Amino acid sequence: MSVDYSRLGMDSAWNRLKRETGRADAHHYRFDRLRAATADLGLDPSAVHLAAEIASLAPALDVDQFFALIVLIVISLAALEQGSTRFPVTGALAAAPMREKLQALFPAPEDGAIREQLAGDIAAILKNGSAELVIGREPGARKPLLYLDPYLYHQKIHAAESRLAQVLNRMLSDQRPIADAKLIRKALAEVFANPPEIAGRKIDLSPEQRRAVELAINFRFTVISGGPGTGKTSIVAAIVRVLARLGIGAQDIALAAPTGKAANRIGESIARALANIPGRGIIDEALRAHPPADATLHRVLGFSSRRGTFHHGRANPLAERVVIVDEASMLDLALMDRLAAALADGAKLILLGDAHQLPSIAAGAVLSDLVPDAQDVSPPPYCAILSENYRSSGGDKAGAAIRETAQWINQGRTDLLAANDSPVRRVKAVAELEFSGVEHLEGDRKALDELVDRYMVEPFASEEFQALAATVYDLEQGAVRARDCESIGRLVAALAHARILCVTRVGPAGADQINMRIHRHAIARASSAALSAARGRAILAGEPIMMLRNDYEHSLFNGDQGVLVNVSERGGARRLAAVFERGGGYLAFEPAILGDAIALCYAMTVHKAQGSEFERIALILPERDMPILSREILYTAISRSRSSAVIFGARELVACGIARAIERFSGLSSALSGTSSDSSN
């Protein structure tokens, strides 16, 4: 056993089993294989550590059952990673999902006997209750796992899902109007009749957009789902204007998103819409002067990183009368449970997002649970689904190709790269790429290197970019001086123009190795004076960075993107700083203070790209098929682009990904509808 496991309960369990049966060594081999296979299910090997610790709480198991319990727990963790809140483990409903998970963990043809034995041992454990200290059988049982036939839940997830369903059901049954019906009709009519004008064009709301606004005004709980370009921001601006006419001003509205970047973007978009309303009256002028403040959900809820607690909750509800959450596809169950618990009596909750995107990284896929997936299913009364795209004019062939490709992926069109009428242009060499619309390229590692060089290395070798990167920017009280903000803005814009997206972090086609390749190019062309040591390796001014987790002390949040630049304060020595945009300016931080919370992001995983938009993207597929390559991964990646998307990888991998829609199992939607049927998409 590796030294990594020397402190785990599993270690003593293996030793005990070896003494009693002499068979534990064979399971060590299987255990190592289990660790190696976790990446294919989107898990870190540490998930196996956790599973072993939990399984060690059931000392009565023999060696086969002990290993089977570890595998069962790993499967449950993989289900959470893919957005499920529960997973079928027995009966007809479980046959295909369990077979798929066991196949992913032990994929070799000769592993058939292992998979069959594991399936039998898992079924026996669940049937006879031999792991009763680990797996409870009643909804209220205080055990790590709950077996509520045919599903396996994590106890904390089941409790959160149940609490959330109760709150949402109360909100849906609350028919108290926000104002007199006549006043509501008048406010809606005023707003619809006087839309913003941007670039000389009136942003009139379509019938489906108007219905979304009306739902949000008339219901306490509303979900608005639509892809990029379907006008969700215009809808929010209209909602805010209607609310103001009903006596709910900006100070009564919490405008939030799961990440700082997404929150800033929705706040800026609404402010821009409010600033472009012709002939603003008193109400609209007041909103323009003081629009709703945007913040991350954690900040809205008053999360303390030092204490690990939230200031707002059931005992201390939010003061705001309306909470609007953008990019709700990134909402995990735990955060949604916290938010619902913190709502004041009578408060409104409006969720906006794209239900077809990847689920949150943490457990739960709240938005997709609340939005019906099938096109022939009527949406629930609290849900508005947007289908029309307004982003580009009919003459924008590149944008149209991106939208059509996303639609083909959503529809499960596995012939995307084979059909004669496919919106994807197929090329045979990197030199043939036009970087317009959607293009597909197959190739080996040499071709991948060529693509990376052309895509992310050559643009940053330009004299203009190098000059911006070499500039020393002046600081004043930790912020870049206003006179330098325009130059840094050009640097940030250049870096944000294009991005490489990867399915995984690891491997030759993973984000980590691609980042290192581009970084080595930057090091090779840099002068020695340009190098600066940080965290044990060289980093350079002009390199893009991203926050990997929330840092509430510095108001930096998971997914925030910035740039490394040279700075000087009051004529002092030049030093390297990590700069992030805030409120139209740029704040600077010592890289050493942020530590391993920041990483290079020339390339990033598709998960990390959620909530971002780029002019062009290149999606790098893995070298082989793996379960995390899914329809949602492909859709989310393509929809991040405005004008160009390059798909690099084997044609059969694209077809496999499109065919593999993430199968989610949840009890939330059935709890809201009052039925006991399964909610799986």
Q: What is the largest CA-CA distance in the chain?
A: 85
- Check residues 460 and 638 and name the one with the higher pLDDT: 638
What is the three-class DSSP state of 262? helix
Is the pLDDT reported for residue 437 higher than 80? yes
472-476 and 479-480 as β-strands: parallel, antiparallel, unpaired?
A: antiparallel
488 and 467 Cβ atoms separated by less than 8 Å: no
**Per-residue model confidence (pLDDT) at position 36:** 86
User: Is the distance from CB of 542 to CB of 563 less than 8 angstroms?
Assistant: yes
Average pLDDT for 529-534: 49
Average pLDDT over residues 489-511: 90
Which residues are bridge partners to 561 per DSSP? 546
Give 451's pLDDT tier (boundaries 50, 70, 90): very high
Cα(505)–Cα(276) distance, integer angstroms: 42
Mean pLDDT of the chain: 87
Q: What is the mean pLDDT of residues 387-397?
A: 71
Predicted local distance difference test score (pLDDT) of residue 171: 94
Question: Which residues in 259-269 are b (16+ Cβ under 10 Å) and which e?
Answer: bbbbbbbbbeb
Lowest mean pLDDT among 192-201, 212-221, 415-424, 664-673: 664-673
| 232 to 104, 196, 223, 235, 354: CA distances (angstroms) | 38, 14, 11, 5, 10
Task: Give pLDDT, residue 5.
Answer: 43
Q: Does residue 1 surpass a pLDDT of 60?
A: no
Could you tell me the end-to-end alpha-carbon distance of the chain, in angstroms, rounded to an integer?
A: 39
Note the pLDDT of residue 374. 56
**What was the pLDDT predicted at 529?**
52
pLDDT of the residue at 3: 37
The secondary structure of 76-128 as a DSSP string is: HHHHHHTT-SEEE-SSGGGHHHHHHHHHHHS-SGGGHHHHHHHHHHHHHHHHH
Mean pLDDT within 96-104: 93
Q: For residues 323 and 300, is the Cβ–Cβ distance under 8 A?
A: yes
pTM of the model: 0.85
Confidence of residue 19 (pLDDT cuts 50, 70, 90): low
Q: Which position has the higher pLDDT, 574 or 168?
A: 168
What pLDDT is stored for residue 534 in this prediction?
Answer: 39
Q: What is the pLDDT of residue 675?
A: 41
> Does residue 155 surpass a pLDDT of 80?
yes
* The pLDDT of residue 200 is above 50: yes
- Residue 130 confidence (pLDDT): 92
The identity of residue 302, as a single letter, is G
Reply yes or no on whether the pLDDT at 520 is more than 70.
Answer: yes
d(CA 639, CA 207) in angstroms, rounded, equals 24
How far from the centroid of its chain's Cα atoms is residue 581's Cα? 21
